[in-house]
A and B are shown apart, each in its own frame.
Chain A
Amino acid sequence: MSKNETNFQFLERFDKRVARLAKQAEKYVHTDPDSCMFKLRLMVETMAKKLTALQMRGDISKDLGAMLGALERSGTLPRRQADTMHAIRRDGNAAVHGSPTPVPTAMRRLSEAYKISGWFCKMMKRGTKIQLDVFDPPDPPVPIDQQTKQLHGQIDALEESIEQRRLATRESLLMFGPQEDVAEVTRRITEELKALDNVAAAAGEPTIDADFVALVMAMDLEQIEEDPRHGVDSRQAKREAEEQLEGIKIHLAQREKEFLAERTFLLEQRSNA
């Protein structure tokens, strides 16, 4: 792609600010990849704010991570787009905090931002049909030498491996495996549950008035929590659960730090060469 062309021209019709940020990111990708990441992060933040204003009500957090979480919970933001936006948020934050961004990383995020831009336009104007061309990577202003090419190849391989490790973590956390047909599994479980419910009813167990049960349980729970026997257990359980949960969070944060360290190490190798 030549210097004056852009992949993001189509965005102009939908959101001028997002389009401007995307084009700036595209412009900086080779010359200043850190600035490219700042612009991409701001682009994602702008998208999230627009979607939030359009789709959600109530007091919305100003923190981008929380905003994306709320959009996911509301069903506005699908998982694939959420993963991409979180990846841009993470790398944008890392760049802001002084971790250098390699060109291949910025290019990868720019290409992903291009893909979610098409989805964003459809969200902004329902019924819009957008046919995105294949992303055309901007050319470097000057041809890159063999050594830099080699380093970019290594960084790209590292980024791919980081993506795979993040994906593995994500898959481990979800309720269904990536190869499962969720609709079919849900149908089968519902069928089995209803059959078991019928068996229970035929065996003389009472029909369940769920609202009544929920009300009784809620009232019971209030009393139980105040009961010293359970109160003590509950406080202990809470402490233990908090510690365990904190352990997992620390582990995940540590993994992200290690990813950044691996990336920085590669860049430093190049600087020292």
Chain B
Amino acid sequence: MTLLLDLPTLWFLSARTMAVAGEDLPTVQEAATGLYAQAILGLTEEECRKAKDADHISNKTLIDCLAGVRALPREESEKLLTGVMMIAYADRSMKPLEVRWASMLASAIDVTPDIFQRCCVNARIIASMLRPSGGTA
């Protein structure tokens, strides 16, 4: 049986998966992950820390993540997808596994192409605001 995960755990699992798919993990991209969690998803510092506890995240698979994302309320799942696409845009290039992970998430959430495009546009705007991969911070 797949256990449904909470939003903080789902966020960090899906964000780090996108970062890993991008094949490098710059420090500032890491920090952008937490800023997005607190500024846009509205998570508290405590929730963010707990989500990365071994109990919460270490034994969770990507299948668990996809199942959890599917069960999220629509607004939360779209925000999550937007944040994940922000991570993907951080280095201004897309790798095959990044495209695959975006596609799997989009399928799990069952978004229309129109909504997916809107998430991508918003992601790019936020990526440029947080400057995860260049410029002065």
CB pair A193–B40 under 8 Å, yes or no, is: no
Query: Is B52 in contact with chain A by the CB < 8 A criterion?
Result: yes
Query: Is A147 in contact with chain B by the CB < 8 A criterion?
Result: no
Query: Is B110 in contact with chain A by the CB < 8 A criterion?
Result: no
Given contacts A208-B99, A234-B122, contact A69 B129 (CB under 8 A): no
Q: In the complex, A189→B14 CA distance in Å? A: 10
- The dominant DSSP class at the A interface is helix
Q: In the complex, A70→B34 CA distance in Å? A: 19
Give the contact stretch, choosing among A35-43, A128-136, A176-184.
Answer: A176-184
List 22 A-B pairs, Cβ < 8 Å.
Answer: A69-B136, A73-B133, A168-B49, A171-B52, A172-B34, A174-B34, A180-B54, A186-B25, A189-B17, A197-B97, A200-B100, A205-B103, A210-B93, A210-B94, A210-B98, A217-B94, A221-B121, A234-B122, A241-B39, A244-B40, A245-B39, A245-B40
CB pair B94–A73 under 8 Å, yes or no, is: no
Which partner residue on chain A sits nearest B87 by CB separation? A175
What string of 1s and 0s marks CB contacts (under 8 Å) between B10-28 and chain A? Answer: 0010011101110001111
Within 8 A of A (CB), among B87-137: 93-101, 103-104, 117-118, 120-122, 124-126, 129-130, 133-134, 136-137
Given contacts A221-B124, A238-B129, contact A193 B27 (CB under 8 A): no
Q: In the complex, A114→B99 CA distance in Å? A: 46
Q: In the complex, A182→B12 CA distance in Å? A: 13
CB pair A197–B28 under 8 Å, yes or no, is: no
Q: Within 8 Å CB of B48, what residues of A?
A: 172-173
- The dominant DSSP class at the B interface is helix
Query: Is A196 in contact with chain B by the CB < 8 A criterion?
Result: yes
Give the shortest distance, in Å, between B109 (CB) and chain A (any CB): 16
CB pair A220–B54 under 8 Å, yes or no, is: no
CB pair A247–B122 under 8 Å, yes or no, is: no
- On chain A, the number of residues with a Cβ less than 8 Å from chain B's Cβ atoms is 56
Given contacts A70-B136, A238-B129, A248-B38, contact A174 B118 (CB under 8 A): no
Which partner residue on chain A sits nearest B61 by CB separation? A192
Given contacts A175-B30, A176-B30, contact A189 B20 (CB under 8 A): yes
Query: Is B76 in contact with chain A by the CB < 8 A criterion?
Result: no
Given contacts A73-B28, A193-B101, A210-B98, contact A180 B58 (CB under 8 A): yes
Q: In the complex, A190→B27 CA distance in Å? A: 19
Checking B29, B95, B118, B129 against A241 with a beta-carbon cut-off of 8 angstroms, the contacting residue is: B129
Checking B94, B98, B104, B121 against A234 with a beta-carbon cut-off of 8 angstroms, the contacting residue is: B121
Give the shortest distance, in Å, between B8 (CB) and chain A (any CB): 10
Give the shortest distance, in Å, between B50 (CB) and chain A (any CB): 9
Give the shortest distance, in Å, between B46 (CB) and chain A (any CB): 7
Query: Is A63 in contact with chain B by the CB < 8 A criterion?
Result: yes
Q: Within 8 Å CB of A208, what residues of B?
A: 96, 99-100
CB pair B17–A193 under 8 Å, yes or no, is: yes
Within 8 A of B (CB), among A30-52: none
Q: Within 8 Å CB of B15, what residues of A?
A: 175
Query: Is A233 in contact with chain B by the CB < 8 A criterion?
Result: yes
Q: Within 8 Å CB of A221, what residues of B?
A: 120-121, 124
Given contacts A189-B16, A208-B100, contact A248 B39 (CB under 8 A): yes
Question: Across chains A and B, which 4 residue pairs bring their CB atoms closest together, nearest first?
Answer: A173-B34, A177-B52, A66-B136, A172-B45
Q: Within 8 Å CB of B20, what residues of A?
A: 185-186, 189-190, 193
CB pair B122–A237 under 8 Å, yes or no, is: yes
CB pair B16–A224 under 8 Å, yes or no, is: no
Q: In the complex, A209→B99 CA distance in Å? A: 9
CB pair B28–A213 under 8 Å, yes or no, is: no
